Amino acid sequence: MMNLVETFSEFKNIKNIDRPTMVRVLEDVFRTLIRKKYGSDENFDVIVNTTKGDLELWRVREIVPDGEVTDDRSQISISEALAIDEDYEIGEECYEQLHLEDFGRRAIMAARQTLISRIMELEKDEIYRKYSDRIGEIVYGEVHQALRREYFIIDDATGNELVLPKHETIKGDNFRKGDMVRAVIKDVEMRNNNPVVIASRTDNIFLEKLLEQEVPEIEDGLISIRKIERIPGERAKVAVESYDDRIDPVGACVGMKGSRIHGIVRELNNENIDIINYTNNVSLYIQRALTPAKVTTIDLDMDKMRADVYLEPDQVSLAIGKSGSNIKLASRLTGFEIDVYRNVDEIEIDDVDLDEFKDEIDEWVIEALKNIGCDTAKSVLNLSKEELLRRTDLEEETITYIMDVLAAEFEE
């Protein structure tokens, strides 16, 4: 018959729910119990002791002479009151302590289930609220389950469970049970009325928070991260700005001999991170965004947000990057659609003018290639098939044929 009290004692150690809320819930549950037995809870006191983990129920009634009780909910006869305490007198309030056994086993079990249900709902609400307020924060936890599509992680700080979906992991991530994982809180969703905390290692904010942890000047507000763009696990570009002329923002982020950036690179599975100095000078910003390539000249079309960038032949592949990663991130960082062109003052001796291939390639196709700045065989071959598809209106089959014809020219 004491299950309800024992259940309450368990709840005194719950950390997710604040004390006033807990007291409110417990009072409500016990007042419901009282109303079901006595029809009203107006003349009852429910005292909850959250420190000791116990409670007291008191029935309060006015003491009246024998035979003058008109409402037994609010009044008690003097003879009944004296049976409770011999010092009572007419006109006083009689305090009668109730015991759980008085309510019956069935009522107690129903109240216990109600209490458990209410506490569970409060815990869910509190987890949702707490983690919603922490979106964008880094969490550190242990993998306790690794499934095909997601990892389940126990937050080291709170003991709550987080979900790290596989599509939110970096290429090369392969965690096992017991591994410690660092990620950023991306979202909190409600699934089947349960809060699910989603963590991510691919979100741009993850890199931003890692930089904040490693670079005190960012934490102190002396350096601002203006924008981050990533291809997780491959490459990232970060534009930073200093509010103090004495601080070099790029140098501060990289650290002495790369000491600050190396830890982040390792955390991100050797993701190549380019830190660049932000500027309002658009041409200079684009030039910096294309690092490590060295740009010769830039033609801007501000209306169409396009930039034609000219480089020496040996810089073209650097500007484009592996699988177009460098130019793609530079475009996203600056907001400009960037096209790269080779500086061709005179045809290289070991190169061949496209006009020499008119017997094998239609003139209109050659013109289409010239329109994107490709005048020679090697200038075409230096671009990927994807880049040629994007910059021309040619079919994939046509481009494949062109590249085969041009490549054959240089085969021994």
- Assigned CATH class of 134-202: mainly beta
CATH superfamily of 203-278: K homology (KH) domain (3.30.300.20)
Measured in whole angstroms, how far is the alpha carbon of residue 382 from the centre of its chain? 39
DSSP letters spanning 193-222: TEEEEEEESSSHHHHHHHHHHH-HHHHTTS
Q: What is the pLDDT tens value at each position of the chain, 412 positions in all?
A: 344 455 555 555 555 566 777 778 888 888 888 888 888 888 898 887 766 656 788 989 999 999 888 988 889 999 999 998 888 899 999 998 888 777 878 887 887 788 888 878 888 888 898 999 999 999 999 999 999 999 999 999 888 999 999 999 998 899 999 999 999 999 999 988 889 999 999 999 999 999 999 999 998 999 999 999 999 999 999 999 998 888 999 999 998 888 899 999 999 999 999 999 999 999 999 999 999 999 999 999 999 999 999 998 888 888 988 888 999 999 999 999 999 888 865 444 467 888 888 888 888 888 888 878 788 888 888 888 888 888 888 889 999 999 998 888 877 5
CA angle, 96 then 24 then 51, to 5°: 75
Helix (H) or strand (E) segment spanning residue 174: none
Phi, psi of 169 (to 5 degrees): -105, 160
What's the burial of 374, exposed, middle or buried (CB within 10 Å: 0-12/13-18/19+)?
A: buried
Distance CA(101)–CA(317), nearest Å, equals 83
The interaxial angle of helices 105-133 and 19-38, nearest 10 deg, is 150
User: Do 206 and 184 touch, CB atoms closer than 8 A?
Assistant: yes
Residues with Cβ within 8 Å of residue 321, at least 6 apart in sequence: 235, 327, 328, 329
C-alpha distances out from residue 221 to 214, 228, 241, Å: 13, 17, 10
CATH superfamily of 3-130: NusA, N-terminal domain (3.30.1480.10)
User: Do 185 and 157 touch, CB atoms closer than 8 A?
Assistant: no
Q: How many Cβ atoms sit within 10 Å of the Cβ of residue 178? A: 9
